[in-house]
Amino acid sequence: MTIYVDNTVLSNFAAVRRPDLLRVALGDQGVLLEQVYAEFVAGVRLGHLPDVDYTWFPVRPLSPSAHAQYEIYRQGLGRGESACLAEAVASNGRVLTDDRDARNLAARLRIPVRGTLGVLTQLVRLAEMQLDEGNRLLHTMISAGYYAPMEDLNDLI
């Protein structure tokens, strides 16, 4: 199943300079839509995000079947979130986002959604990192501006 990754999650892993962790967690299922990639590149150009290597992600345009939903979702969401949700609806995919409004809409649409905490938790459960490293990365993400609903992963493991 394809997982459409939003810029909120990309930014968090870029902030800790660990884009490789998304590759481990998603394998070949992760996809960036052009709208999301444009948001990430703009953040790098403006100096808000470090320039990390996400070139392993396939970057795709929004499919024609997703355009109408994209325009509807754009009324309340950003370009990246709207694109991810529209494409997930069109292709029966999943979404990775930390945007609260996007997550709420995904729940109403019954789109499976996870975020940064879900990825970190998955990596700990798969023994790709220890819990203390996951917590350290989470704390660094929070220091960089991530509004996490919790300050450590302990209750999720």
- What does the pLDDT read at residue 116? 97
- What does the pLDDT read at residue 27? 92
- What does the pLDDT read at residue 155? 86
Instruction: List the domain boundaries for the chain.
Output: 3-116
**Beta-strand runs (E) in the chain:** 3-5, 30-33, 59-60, 94-96, 113-114
E strand or H helix at 121: helix 116-125
- What does the pLDDT read at residue 11? 97
- Name beta bridge partners: 42: none
| Distance (Å) of CA 14 to CA 9, 69, 122, 144, 157 | 9, 29, 18, 10, 23
Residue 14 gets the label, from left (phi > 0), alpha (psi -120 to 50) or beta, of alpha
Look up the pTM and report it.
0.94
Q: Average pLDDT of each block of 10 consecutive residues along the chain (157 residues)?
A: 96 97 95 97 95 95 96 96 98 97 97 97 95 96 93 89
Measured CA to CA, the distance from residue 24 to residue 19 in angstroms comes to 9
**14: its two tokens:** 């870029």
Q: Looking at domain 3-116, which CATH architecture does it have? A: 3-Layer(aba) Sandwich (3.40)
With CA atoms as reference, report the closest residue to 31 among 61, 66, 64, 72: 61
Number of H helices and E strands in the chain, helices first, is 8, 5
